[in-house]
Chain A
Amino acid sequence: MRRKKLLTDNALQHLASLVAAVEAAEAADVPWRDQARIHFLRNFTIEPVEPYLKFHLLREDIQPLITFGGYDTMSQEILEPGSSINKDRPDIIVLSLLVDYLDSGCSAKKWNADEALGRLDDLLTLALDRTGSLIITNTLLPPIDLLLDDSADADRVAQVRRLNDRMRQLADTNPQRMRIADWEQTLGDFGTKKGIDKRFWKLSQAPFTAPVLNRMAIDVVKQVRALKGISKKCLILDCDNTLWGGVIGEDGMDGIELHPDELPGSAFYKLQQSALKLHEQGVLLALCSKNNEEDVWEVLRAHPHCLLKRSNLVAWRINWNNKAENIVSLANELNIGIDSFVYVDDSPRECALVSEFLPEVTVIQVPEELECYANLLIKDGLFDSLAQSDEDRRRTQMYQEATRRQQDESSFDDLTDYLKSLDTIAEISRPTDADLARVAQLTQRTNQFNLTTRRYSETEIRGFVADKESAVYSMKVRDRYGDMGLTGVFIAKREGSTGIVDSLLLSCRILGRQLEFAFVDQCMQMLEELWHLDSWKAEYVPTLKNAQVAEFWDQIGLRLAHEESGHRRYISELGSRPSDYIKIMQVHVE
């Protein structure tokens, strides 16, 4: 984690130290978690955003591969077969637009946005239709010159709003493909005076100042996190002076601060509101605090202003153990990675301890200025993911069911007995239209049980489903404790009489019950018949997270044909796969 240590908040304070830190962090010999190919299509000088963008990506151990297109050659680049967009297929295209260059007449006296609207529409449609990338574009600002002398009249602002409305409309109808960074909001937050530098606007068409560029970069990184499936999954909260003001063991029920309208209580009340909002979106909530457990439950149960309830929590560690150990034990119980946690605590000591021992955890310290406290959970989009599925909203319930399953597990001597007792039913089928968002989301999020870690958008999945030369199967699993939903994806392609496994992944919440074998076996059998196959090719592509499946294909009975730096390629004739695992579950096919 040496890279993260270079990229301190201090380094971000000055451009020179930022550039130096970014350069050192890029060169640091630490493995990458992932890479992000980002191409800017733009009509003005957006390059100054680059160090900020790199800074935030490098902090996540994501290798930044950032390129900039020519000035105002956006449509050409999308259409040209040899352009960077068509050669490198960026994960994300950032369309950085100023109305000043979208329609040079926009500063004229009586301006009407019709022409700009047509141009914008063409450009966005082209980007959506002709590329497979996630498109991030920005809300347009009034013309910069007019902003600078404060002469942007209401009529002009209304015309710009028409453009932004159209953009939002397109983003709403293509939620998997297009996102909007709200520059209007950003500039509103900083103000024109602090946000725009007239000198660099005149000299280099580069209007924005450091704080604005930093915010713009964060907006892009939010989407990268979501796209790469590295958004945070669980929020762990301390209790005293974090979930409420004061110390319950000393101040008592009447003494702690949680008043909805009066500081300091209102800051904690709002924090609870934010946490519950995240909970509704599928973020898991947990407690990790040094308290008497009963005291905490009493507040959650009986305090008139405490919004958080015990049923909102997926797990807790209320004890006097070391917090880092507690977090590790939470990770084990929930079967999610340490890097999926955000931890909030008021104590600088505890925060430092967790950061030191578990650098993958994002640590938030309760700020001195309590007014900005609740917003800290949301502002960097730590928990954002591309699409929200039903599974997201039901996640806490599913993890709670999983915990009950684990408790039962210990009472069985033989694992097979236990697995049989679960009455597992796996339904394997082609995904329906309604399943596609979840299938894409699983490819984006699944890191551990993922043989090739290929990330796909919903559009791409739809493409595979429609294509006769490829096939997608999904698996839905339920047992006597509850429904675990769509938790497995298998994607294959056909090459003559050979089937090629493109992707195989299972959500971590169904691991450890041998479902993977049944799933793969069924999918392969179906395709062997359908496509008249005589052999299979499969591969294991190593990442930082998927070591547990390095030998999966060996277990299935495929023959290792080639291995290079951990990348294992398999080839196999039909008919050598074991199939006795079926007995522990029922498998329903299509």
Chain B
Amino acid sequence: MTESIKRVMSQILGVDPGEIDDESSPATIERWDSLKHMQLIMALEDELEIQFPDEVIPELVTFKLIQSTVSKLATG
């Protein structure tokens, strides 16, 4: 799953998957603006066949937060 998230992030945000770490965020990835954020969320949902509840979407702004939310959704 970690791999899938990294791959989607790399495809959408145009960064090397190896460069993505826990703290990767709009502050460290230049292209991660609000439009890319929406695209990223849509792409993750599409790839992992999950749906994020709307209130958490704006909060998913680091790799770590995305990862923990996805694993909660997957097990929950």
Contacts and interface: CB of A to CB of B under 8 A. Distances in A.
A200 B52 CA distance: 11
A16 B7 CA distance: 8
B11 interface: yes
Contacts of A15: 12, 39, 42-43, 46-47
A16 B43 contact: yes
A399 to B, nearest CB: 46
Interface in B24-41: 34-35, 38-39
Interface string B41-76: 011001100001010011000000000000000000
A205 to B, nearest CB: 10
- Majority SS of interface residues in chain A? helix
If over half of B's interface residues share one DSSP class (helix, strand or loop), that class is named, otherwise mixed; here it is helix
Contacts of A204: 34, 38
A19 B39 contact: yes
B12 A203 contact: no
Nearest to B14: A23
Residue with the greatest number of chain B CB neighbours at <10 A, chosen from A17, A23, A202:
A17
B46 A14 contact: yes
A585 B54 CA distance: 74
Contact of A203 (B8, B39, B54): B54
A20 B11 contact: yes
A198 B57 CA distance: 13
A325 interface: no
Nearest to B7: A16
Contacts of B54: 198-199, 202-203
A422 interface: no
A210 interface: yes
Contacts of A17: 11
Contacts of A47: 35
Contacts, number: 46
B42 A19 contact: no
Contacts of B34: 204
B41 to A, nearest CB: 8
Size band of the interface chain B makes with A: 10 to 19
A50 to B, nearest CB: 9
A44 B52 CA distance: 23
A489 B42 CA distance: 49
A249 interface: no
Contact of B43 (A19, A198, A199, A202): A19
A482 interface: no
B17 to A, nearest CB: 12
A210 B42 contact: yes
Interface string A176-211: 000000000000000000000011101110100010
B37 to A, nearest CB: 9
Contact of A206 (B11, B12, B38, B52): B38
A202 B52 CA distance: 14
Interface string A7-44: 00000001111011001000000000000000000000
B38 A48 contact: yes
A200 B43 CA distance: 13
Nearest to B13: A19
Contacts of B7: 16
Given A16-B11, A23-B14, A48-B35, 18 more contacts: A14-B47, A15-B39, A15-B43, A15-B47, A16-B7, A16-B12, A16-B43, A16-B47, A19-B11, A45-B35, A47-B35, A48-B39, A51-B39, A198-B54, A199-B52, A202-B54, A203-B54, A204-B38
Interface of A: 14-17, 19-20, 23, 45, 47-48, 51, 198-200, 202-204, 206, 210
Interface of B: 7-8, 11-12, 14, 34-35, 38-39, 42-43, 46-47, 52, 54, 57-58
List the 4 closest pairs (A to B, CB-CB), nearest first: A199-B54, A20-B11, A15-B43, A16-B43
22 contacts: A14-B43, A15-B39, A15-B43, A15-B46, A15-B47, A16-B43, A16-B46, A16-B47, A19-B12, A47-B35, A48-B35, A48-B38, A48-B42, A198-B54, A199-B52, A202-B54, A203-B38, A203-B54, A203-B57, A203-B58, A204-B38, A206-B38
